[in-house]
Amino acid sequence: MDSGGVWSARDTTPGAIEEALRQLIMEQCGRHDAYAPARVLNLVVVVDREWRGEILNRLDRVGRYHPSRTILCAVEPDRTTIDATVAITGVDPQHVKPGELALTRERLVLDLGPHHLEKLSTIVDPVVVTDIATVVWSPHGHPEAVDALLGLAQVVLVDSVNEPDSAAAVARARELVGDAYVVDLAWLRSTPWRERVASTFDPAQWRDELGRIDAVVVRHQPQSAIAGLLFCGWLASRLGWEPGGLMDVNGSLRGHAHARRQDVQIELAPDPTMSVPGLAGIEIGTASGMRISLDRGPGGLSARRSDRKGRESTWTVLGASRGEAGILGEGIRQALLRDPAYRRALDQAEAMVR
């Protein structure tokens, strides 16, 4: 990477930041004909200042899904003024083939105070790139900042695992989907599991078993019940189940959904051995005696299936986990896509937490 210009100022204004940013871009593009600003996505991140470095490190690891312009708003208690640092980075033109562009990206770090958050749109609006998608992500809470930016952003990136409980997570997501497209990292963590379950039932000889499912057990990291809830919501929405409310039974959430042929017993069980957010294992049983299970393991998912005659097969699904950096990168990528399955799963999850 080629380090471009850097500008910083204390007790500054949005107008001064915008002017400095524009000047830096002009200077950078004037250095070489190959330079051109990347123009795909704005990402506005609201963080607690003490965790600013950790969030910047996470963003550095998202790889090719890096946003074109990142505006990181670091909230510091008792601060009344705005300090700003603007930096431009890009591919070194010496490493670019003739005729190709050396794309540059901008990163703005704004140190501000809690009282700025309710009016955050007036600070951010002058420094976002117009006519491209704007994503808002607030990993440390600050819902008032997200609400203030809803008129400016088209996408809200959330991690429902960070909410106090599943009911609060569903309620907040339902509130946001009325104003923006929501990308939920808790939902994306279940993507490999959903893909593998779908592929397991895809062969013609197993497809009829979908209508015979009578039990689903999902094990999850203790704070990630919402990930299991969304997974069950996905099954319910795809298979036409009518889920009922789940009850806490000895620390697990248990209930049932009404399917066309029979009721489906649902259990969400915390796994205290799991430290990373997301799912630890899934077991699905059918009325005919078929059982499939997926468990998190080294390098991927360990899969097992037994048929009605007790014959068992096992295999490993390699590379199923993308890690937290991969999840965040996928979240940024999903901001440019539209996944209607999440909204339908959320609707069913809402029925389960009532």
Q: Quick one: average pLDDT of 241-247?
A: 96
Residue-level pLDDT at 168: 96
**Tens of pLDDT, residues 214-225:** 999 999 999 999
In a domain? residue 269 = yes
- Same domain (yes/no): 20, 143: yes
Determine contact, residues 107/52, Cβ cutoff 8 Å: no
Determine contact, residues 284/267, Cβ cutoff 8 Å: no
Spatial separation of the C-alpha atoms in residues 65 and 67, rounded to whole Å: 6
Q: Quick one: average pLDDT of 56-70?
A: 88
- Same domain (yes/no): 10, 108: yes
Nearest of 282, 285, 283 to residue 259 by alpha carbon: 285
For the ranges 135-139, 290-294, 324-328, the lowest mean pLDDT is seen at 324-328
- Same domain (yes/no): 146, 225: no
Q: What is the mean pLDDT of the chain?
A: 92
**Tens of pLDDT, residues 117-163:** 999 999 999 999 999 999 999 999 999 999 999 999 999 999 999 99
Is 3's pLDDT higher than 90?
no
As a whole-number percent, the residues of the chain with pLDDT over 70 amount to 97
Q: Quick one: average pLDDT of 270-294?
A: 94
**CATH, residue 264:** 3.30.360
Centre a 10 Å sphere on the Cβ of residue 330 and count the other Cβ atoms it contains: 19
CA atoms within 13 A on the CB side of 32: 20
Strands 83-90 and 133-137: unpaired
- Same domain (yes/no): 10, 119: yes
- Same domain (yes/no): 29, 149: yes
Strand pairing partners for 184?
158
- Same domain (yes/no): 278, 226: yes
- Same domain (yes/no): 300, 230: yes
Provide the domain limits for residue 133: 2-153
pLDDT higher at 352 or 32 = 352
In a domain? residue 209 = yes
Residue-level pLDDT at 240: 96
Residue-level pLDDT at 1: 47
Q: State the total domains in the chain.
A: 2
Residue-level pLDDT at 92: 72
Band (pLDDT 50/70/90 cuts) for residue 322 is low
In a domain? residue 248 = yes
pTM for the model? 0.91
Residue-level pLDDT at 222: 96
In a domain? residue 158 = no
- Same domain (yes/no): 134, 219: no
